[in-house]
Chain A
Amino acid sequence: NAGVTQTPKFRILKIGQSMTLQCTQDMNHNYMYWYRQDPGMGLKLIYYSVGAGITDKGEVPNGYNVSRSTTEDFPLRLELAAPSQTSVYFCASTTHARSEQFFGPGTRLTVL
């Protein structure tokens, strides 16, 4: 099992550009999450999903969108990138909200 995979690993965007961060898991987990981690800070929840076709906002959803058309994939879309979105983005999945979350390797995004 590959677990949780994310692409790309690194990306530099110009202000106003858009991009999609990909996340895929092969563990048949229903619950999936997107977090951002700013330098020296903890994890802030952007969006989450409890199953295909169901998504909901987390603590910091502004400037982002998600979709969940399959159990495996949970892409995060950035529209009109801003310097404030410079961060490391982690995708995670789990069988249940009260269980271990398995994290992807992260995407380091810089917006200039």
Chain B
Amino acid sequence: GENVEQHPSTLSVQEGDSAVIKCTYSDSASNYFPWYKQELGKRPQLIIDIRSNVGEKKDQRIAVTLNKTAKHFSLHITETQPEDSAVYFCAAFSPGGGADGLTFGKGTHLIIQP
């Protein structure tokens, strides 16, 4: 099955700086890569996703890049703000896995220092 590794597990950045979270996946057939944000005590919510026919996608201060050859994808947050503090999960969807083909990484705790 698919295996998703996420790094780092904790990331502390100064407010206004950029943050980058990286994920690697094992199944070269994986074709959908969502990112979820989970604030403390809240439910995970999708913030951005990318499909395998696209190399980069941007939404305001958030961007995701995908390198299919290297089998890794990254979340980039620019001009970080206090409200960006949360746990971020990457995931990869493997078609061979069927309806349960989405595999999550273990999460990155992003801390924005004032």
**A-contact bits for B79-114, CB 8 A (1 contact / 0 none):** 000000000010001010011111011110000000
CB pair A56–B100 under 8 Å, yes or no, is yes
Cα–Cα, bound, A101→B46 (Å): 8
Which of A13-21, A37-45, A65-73 binds B? A37-45
What are 6 A-B pairs with beta-carbon distances under 8 A?
A41-B107, A43-B89, A48-B100, A58-B100, A90-B43, A106-B43
Residue of B nearest to A48 (CB): B100
Interface residues on A, range: 20 to 34
- Interface residues of chain A, those whose CB is within 8 Å of chain B, are 31, 33, 40-43, 45, 48, 50, 56, 58, 90, 97-98, 100-101, 103-106
- Smallest beta-carbon distance A45→chain B, Å: 6
- Smallest beta-carbon distance A102→chain B, Å: 8
Q: Is the interface of A mostly helix, strand, loop or mixed?
A: loop
Interface residues on B, range: 20 to 34
Chain B contacts of A100 at CB under 8 A? 34, 46, 49
Residue of A nearest to B41 (CB): A106
**A-contact bits for B28-39, CB 8 A (1 contact / 0 none):** 000110100000
Known: A42-B89, A90-B43, A103-B44. A97 touches B104 (CB 8 A): no
Chain B contacts of A56 at CB under 8 A? 99-100
Q: Is the interface of B mostly helix, strand, loop or mixed?
A: mixed
Cα–Cα, bound, A105→B93 (Å): 23
CB pair A90–B44 under 8 Å, yes or no, is yes
Chain A contacts of B93 at CB under 8 A? 97-98
CB pair B44–A97 under 8 Å, yes or no, is no
Q: Which of A40, A42, A48, A100 neighbours the largest number of chain B CB atoms within 10 Å of its CB?
A: A42
Chain B contacts of A40 at CB under 8 A? 107
Chain B contacts of A104 at CB under 8 A? 43
CB pair A42–B32 under 8 Å, yes or no, is no
Q: Is B3 an interface residue (CB 8 A)?
A: no
Instruction: Identify A101's interface contact among B98, B102, B106, CB under 8 A.
Output: B102
Chain A contacts of B89 at CB under 8 A? 42-43
> 10 closest pairs, A vs B, by CB?
A103-B43, A42-B106, A98-B32, A100-B46, A42-B104, A97-B99, A50-B99, A43-B104, A48-B100, A103-B44
